[in-house]
Amino acid sequence: MAGLTERLTERLTERLTERLNEGSGMKSCLNWVQNLVCVLIVSAAPLALAGDSDDGSILRERLVKLRPDLPVQSVSSTPLPGIFALELPGGTYLYGTADGKYLFAGDMYELTDTSLVNLAENRRSDYRRDLMEQVNVKDMVVFQPKGPTKAVINVFTDVDCGYCRKLHQEMAELNGLGIEVRYLAYPRAGVDSDSYFKIVSAWCADDQKAAITSLKLGDTIPSKTCANPVADQYELGQKIGISGTPAIVLADGRLLPGYMPAESLANAIGL
């Protein structure tokens, strides 16, 4: 175990030196180290004793007993022997020892030969991808390219959001790059808010795309109601962990929070 700790410490020192040489600020580097320090601590600590639970049940039982209000959705193993991941709503993870004596928060990273892999974010991406695959595209407002579709993005949007409007202004450019934009409703003020009723009216309009465009230009549209997916999509966004709009979910489950210019967005998704 001592040898493993020494190797991890050497790798951490090397990567920190690289980041400083690359010009990363000290605050950025300290935040990066904070995300990794728990892994080093766990590596230096004794592993779970023989006879301890190997499925995380003891950890979960102890945590639920101490914090019955904590909504633990699942417990799963990690690459570190004796350490389990506890998933909370919105893609938040806690980690703890099999004997249920130690618990820590933060993302777990794997240090490969070429990069740092955020294992927690990989789990969140899988979770988001699985949820998005359950959404019927017919329930979205879709802006398709005139030519071949090279990529698809799912955008949780609010018609009263300034950056959502800015992204919508680049719709022609996005479509021109071969990007299909699928809108899902996410009225940030919640169900029964003014934004909620506006976006419901757009989803119920005869021409949904024209209605969405009018609202994003600051215009008004006729109030209308119908059977619609707005509340369900808002709930889906909360499950995914969306806290602001626009929020872009890619086909592989990666989340790109906030506005990005069309060219930058195309680069981010590999076009």
Q: What is the CATH number of the domain that holds 256?
A: 3.40.30.10
Q: Are residues 198 and 224 in the same domain?
A: yes
Q: Are residues 100 and 158 in the same domain?
A: no
Q: Are residues 110 and 228 in the same domain?
A: no
pTM higher than 0.75:
no
Would you state the pLDDT for residue 51? 43
Quote the domain boundaries for residue 247: 136-268
Q: What is the CATH number of the domain that holds 65?
A: 3.10.450.70
Would you state the pLDDT for residue 90? 75
127-161: pLDDT as tens digits: 899 999 999 999 999 999 999 999 999 999 999 99
Q: Are residues 58 and 179 in the same domain?
A: no
Q: Are residues 22 and 115 in the same domain?
A: yes
Q: Are residues 180 and 80 in the same domain?
A: no
Q: Are residues 160 and 107 in the same domain?
A: no
Q: Are residues 116 and 149 in the same domain?
A: no
Q: Are residues 193 and 228 in the same domain?
A: yes
Would you state the pLDDT for residue 49? 40
Q: Are residues 147 and 98 in the same domain?
A: no
Would you state the pLDDT for residue 87? 87
Which of the listed residues 112, 128, 144 is the one where a domain comes to its end?
A: 128
Catalytic residue list: 158, 161, 164, 188
Which of the listed residues 105, 128, 151 is the one where a domain comes to its end?
A: 128
User: In total, how many domains does the chain have?
Assistant: 2
Which of the listed residues 102, 128, 154 is the one where a domain comes to its end?
A: 128
Q: Are residues 119 and 141 in the same domain?
A: no
Would you state the pLDDT for residue 45? 41
Q: Are residues 183 and 221 in the same domain?
A: yes
- Supply the DSSP string of the chain, one letter for each residue: -HHHHHHHHHHHHHHHHHHHHTT--HHHHHHHHHHHHHHHHHHHSPPPPTTS-SSSHHHHHHHHHH-TTS---EEEE-SSTTEEEEEEGGGEEEEEETTS--EEES--EEE-SS-EEEHHHHHHHHHHHHHHTTS-GGGSEEE--SS---EEEEEEE-TT-HHHHHHHTTHHHHHHTTEEEEEEE--TT-TTSHHHHHHHHHHTSSSHHHHHHHHHTT--------S-SHHHHHHHHHHHT--SSSEEEETTS-EEES---HHHHHHHTT-
Intervals of the chain under pLDDT 50? 1-5, 26-27, 29-30, 32-33, 37-52
